[in-house]
Structure 1
């Protein structure tokens, strides 16, 4: 199965299926536990980037919904949108560094003597 990083600072690797835009804004909002107008604000602030149909309708993927749920948790913890953007960026950087570290060849301590 093909994988790609979550756009905009998600957590780890996700399957291409998780990136498929499926949900209308009202469904995504319900799944994330927030209101549709909040999703518009999050998009305007660059926290989420839903796909668009040819007619311009927003479509959210499973990974978008997961990201929205993370945003809701961070809001509930008292962060503002600017703080949430920073947290999401740092989480994405952390995930990238972990992936790079995991790709490095493993060595034993004996080789460094």
Structure 2
């Protein structure tokens, strides 16, 4: 009986030690104002850097597209005109096809 009680006491003491360790792992100290401000400043700097990178890529590709478009208009106006006519014909067709597909998906999900 004493042996059983000693084993039970050892088990309880180990469990209490483990629970204390778990409590210590789970309770992280709250960051101070200075560290929060520093993290916020770093996040803002990264966001600003990403914005400028995306903006420069956007401007570069916009200029590239405009350059190609202007070149086509002045060097081969027939290609430009045919492209405009085809897009005027194709756009409504694509719009109708996409609306029909969306309606079919909506009917499928309503059932």
Higher helix share: 2
Higher strand share: 1
